[in-house]
Copies of this chain bind each other. A is one copy, B any other.
Amino acid sequence: MTKGPGLLFVVSGPSGAGKDTLVEGLRQTRPTLRYSVSATTRPRRAEERDEEHYFFVTNLEFDRLRRSGGLLEWREYGGNHYGTPRDYIERSLSEGYDVIMKPEVNGALAVKAAYPDAVLIFLVPDRFSNLRERLLARRTETNEEIARRLEIAQQEMKCIRRFDYLVVNAQDRPQEAVRDLEAILQAERFRIHRYPDDSIHNVETS
């Protein structure tokens, strides 16, 4: 029963559900978990480091990556391009690392299409009214943008059934959702289809 390749975990859900905080919490408790770094054409901010926060690329490089199948999913936001490089993920998985990423819902479904073995986790706030409050609280969007985001969120909720897990992030107990995600990360490696035939054969005859 040898250690196989790592597992790919995709945490998604409506904007403002608390993905960033939870994934950050997970990374601190599971040091063997690698975070999938996105590529972006957005200019680097002073506090950001290349290859840690993003792979900062030119429009030309981004286009080349996308056309050559080098991106698992991509999107445009605020006039900039964002995408998930396939190469970094595949390398990490084959080295036995688990990888976690937090794309938008459409991106998550694109990843599942490319990697049917990926584990898709849908994260929702405990009350939808909270989503509005959270968006208001972070003060990064106008009221119009918030209305649009809530509309998108409603659309995204319709995709829940295509995910593997649904985790509720209770605003007043964020540690609970981190523990729930940890349990999923831990349990998934024991699912029977994760074991290659030869590892089970070893159990049978050893």
Q: Report the Cα distance A200→B192, complex, angstroms.
A: 27
Q: Does A154 contact B (CB under 8 A)?
A: yes
With A160-B192, A165-B191, A192-B165 in contact, is A124–B183 under 8 Å at CB? no
Q: Does A1 contact B (CB under 8 A)?
A: yes
Q: Does A198 contact B (CB under 8 A)?
A: no
Interface residue tally on A, bucketed by range: 35 or more
Inside 8 A of A164's CB, which chain B residues have their CB? Answer: 191-192
Q: Which residue of chain B has the shortest Cβ distance to A199 in the bound complex? A: B166
Q: Report the Cα distance A163→B191, complex, angstroms.
A: 9
Q: Which residue of chain B has the shortest Cβ distance to A202 in the bound complex? A: B128
CB distance from A50 to the nearest CB of B (A): 35
Q: Are B192 and A167 interface neighbours, CB within 8 A? A: no
Q: Does A23 contact B (CB under 8 A)?
A: no
Q: Which residue of chain B has the shortest Cβ distance to A158 in the bound complex? A: B204
Which one of B157, B186, B191, B206 contacts A127 once the chains associate, using CB atoms below 8 Å?
A: B206
Q: Are A203 and B128 interface neighbours, CB within 8 A? A: yes
Q: Does A190 contact B (CB under 8 A)?
A: yes
Name the interface residues of A148-164: CB closer than 8 Å to any CB of B. Answer: 154, 157-158, 160-161, 163-164
What residues make up the interface of A, taking CB atoms closer than 8 Å to B?
1, 121-122, 124, 126-129, 154, 157-158, 160-161, 163-168, 179-180, 182-184, 186-188, 190-192, 195, 200, 203-206
* Supplied contacts A1-B126, A166-B200, 12 more A-B pairs, CB within 8 Å: A121-B190, A124-B203, A128-B206, A129-B206, A165-B190, A166-B190, A167-B190, A180-B187, A180-B190, A183-B186, A183-B187, A186-B187
Inside 8 A of A203's CB, which chain B residues have their CB? Answer: 124, 128, 157, 160
Q: Which residue of chain B has the shortest Cβ distance to A124 in the bound complex? A: B203
With A157-B203, A204-B157, A206-B127 in contact, is A166–B192 under 8 Å at CB? yes
